[in-house]
Amino acid sequence: MTRSNVYFGLSLVLLVAAGLCGYRGHAYECVGLTAAGVVALVLFRRATVKPMRAIRSGMDLLLSQDFASRLRPVGQKDADEVVRVFNAIMGTMKSERLKNEEQNAFLSKIVEASPMGVAVCTFDGEIESSNPAFKDLGGEALEGVLSTLGDGEQRIIRPGGEQVLKCVRMHFMDRGFRRRFYLVERLTDEIVRAETELFHKIVRTMGHEVNNTLGGVVSVLETLQAVHEGDEIVAEALDSSRSSCLALTSFVKAYSDVVKLPDAEPEAIDVAEFLRRCLPFLQKMCPPNIRLRVDAKDGSRIEGDPMLLERVIVNAVKNAVESIGSRDGEIALGCSGKRIEITDNGPGISAENAERVFTPFFSTKRADRGLGLMLIADILRKHGAAFNLSTDADGLTRLRIDFAK
């Protein structure tokens, strides 16, 4: 039994006894018992109020979430027992809070440093926070694709340029509700390496078989031409066959040239001067219906291989010329800082094709076979440059090339 219960019970007994004495006319006994009952009530109040004050102080600390503060003993047994229990609870809560804060800080640092993009959604499905990798990999541009994913679904996308991304949508339970989050992983290097190795293997095999076979065929055709020199019809047929064989050999050689692309030998390049030097040759590539201009400010400098980068510019302009076709068009070459930009007002590229334009053997123009853009991608990767080809909201198609240095 606690002290407060003893005092309360004693005060009741004394006050009842005082009442009985007063009823029987024992005045002195009644006064004495009443005084003793009052003293017992005072002791009861003291035994009750101090623990209640300790509880009230503890509640204030809990409401303010001040887990570092402690209550002091007051010298009253019941109150000190409340203080001891409360301080033990506060110590446990402080330890748990520190543990959770350390875990959250550790996990936050891991997420921030992760090369994989992470984005966490609100309960309504809107992205509320993301790590730096997610912003670097696309950020807001990815949200449209991510919103179409179902729970647990993953998808490989090519959002233009050389990037290949794996996007996954998952969820975790938070206070009884599902919260979605997205993981975005960059697969560019692995995919490009696999595609390049496959492409090189196909080209080497194709080049070996075609060249060996056609070399013998062309030799036989030339011999037959000499034999049937007097027969105009036969000679014409043989000459046509020989030309077809040589065209096929040239076609295969074009792919072989991509495979044999030399490594870049970088040097300091003044971009404006470099573009102006390329201009006369590029203008000869453009028919009368296409205007070519250079908008380059002096001062932009990059590190690159001039011969290889010239092939990039030539193939990019050739691609733009073929895209514009017979309509009136304009092609602009520009530079700003470490960026080179080639713009044309052709019919543009669909979002679906923009994801695949730099992949081997892909082309929207059958005659080109995708060599131009594939060559551009190979050369720019050798320079460590980021690049992107897309049609913007203003209707212009832009090839953007960003050099690291």
Per-residue pLDDT tens over the stretch 262-272: 778 888 888 88
362 confidence band (pLDDT: 50, 70, 90): low
Which value, to the nearest 10 degrees, does the dihedral of the CA atoms of residues 101, 107, 111, 115 take? 150
Residue type, 155: R
Work out the pLDDT band at 368, boundaries 50, 70, 90: very low
Max mean pLDDT among 11-25, 55-69, 109-123 falls in 109-123
For range 228-248, the mean pLDDT: 78
Checking DSSP bridges between strand 290-296 and strand 329-336, what pairing results, if any? parallel
3-class secondary structure per residue, 8-54: HHHHHHHHHHHHHHHHHCCHHHHHHHHHHHHHHHHHHHHHHHHHHHH
For residues 344 and 329, give the distance between their C-alpha atoms in angstroms, rounded to a whole number: 7
Rounded Cα distance, 83 and 75, in Å: 11
* From 3-7, 171-175, 309-313, the region with the lowest mean pLDDT: 3-7
The arrangement of strands across the sheet holding 290-296 comes to 290-296, 329-336, 339-344, 397-402, 386-391
CA 12 – CA 38 distance, rounded (Å): 10
Residue 333 has, within 13 A of its CA and on its CB side, a CA count of 25
Contact between 305 and 264 under an 8 Å Cβ cutoff? The reply is yes
Could you give the residue ranges of the DSSP H alpha helices within 138-270? 140-146, 188-227, 232-259
Confidence band for 1, pLDDT divided at 50, 70 and 90: very low
- Name the phi and psi angles at 290, rounded to 5: -120, 125
Distance CA 138, CA 189 (A): 17
Model confidence at 326: pLDDT above 70: yes
Query: In the block, which residue shows the tokens 């696309």?
Result: 138
CA-to-CA distance for 70 and 77, rounded, in angstroms?
A: 17
**Residues in contact with 274: Cβ distance below 8 Å, sequence separation at least 6, in sequence order:** 306, 309
Q: Rounded mean pLDDT of 352-371?
A: 60
> What is the rounded distance in angstroms from the CA atom of residue 376 to the CA atom of residue 316?
8
- Place 2 in a pLDDT band, splitting at 50, 70 and 90: low
Strands 165-174 and 154-157: antiparallel
The better pLDDT of the pair 76, 94 is held by: 94
Q: How many CB atoms lie within 10 A of CB 180?
A: 21
Residue 65 banded pLDDT, cuts 50, 70, 90: low
Mean per-residue pLDDT over the chain, rounded: 77
- 245 with 211: CB under 8 angstroms? no
Give the distance between the most distant pair of CA atoms in the chain: 163
What DSSP designation does 295 have? E
CA 58 → CA 61, 86, 98, distances in Å?
A: 5, 7, 20
Look up tokens 């006319």; give the residue.
25
- How far, rounded to the nearest angstrom, does the alpha carbon of residue 117 sit from its chain's CA centroid? 4
Q: CA dihedral in degrees (72, 76, 79, 84; nearest 10)?
A: 50
Least confident of 34-48, 277-291, 352-366: 352-366
* Joined tokens for residue 368: 């080109």
254 and 371 Cβ atoms separated by less than 8 Å: yes
pLDDT of 386 > 70? The answer is: yes
258-281 burial by CB neighbour count: b if 16+ within 10 A, else e? beeeeebebeebbbbebbeebeee
377 burial class (0-12, 13-18, 19+ CB within 10 angstroms)?
buried
| Residue 291, pLDDT above cutoff 60 | yes
Give the confidence band of 276 by pLDDT, cuts at 50, 70, 90. confident
The pLDDT score that the predictor gives to residue 229 is 74
CA 120 to chain centre: 12
- Distance, CA of 329 to chain centre: 36
Task: Indicate whether 370 pLDDT > 60.
Answer: no
β-sheet bridge partners, residue 43: none
pLDDT score of 331 more than 80: yes
Share of the chain above pLDDT 90, in %: 1
Neighbours of 91 (CB within 10 A): 13
Least confident of 53-62, 235-244, 304-313, 396-405: 53-62
Handedness of CA 109, 139, 182, 399 (dihedral sign): negative
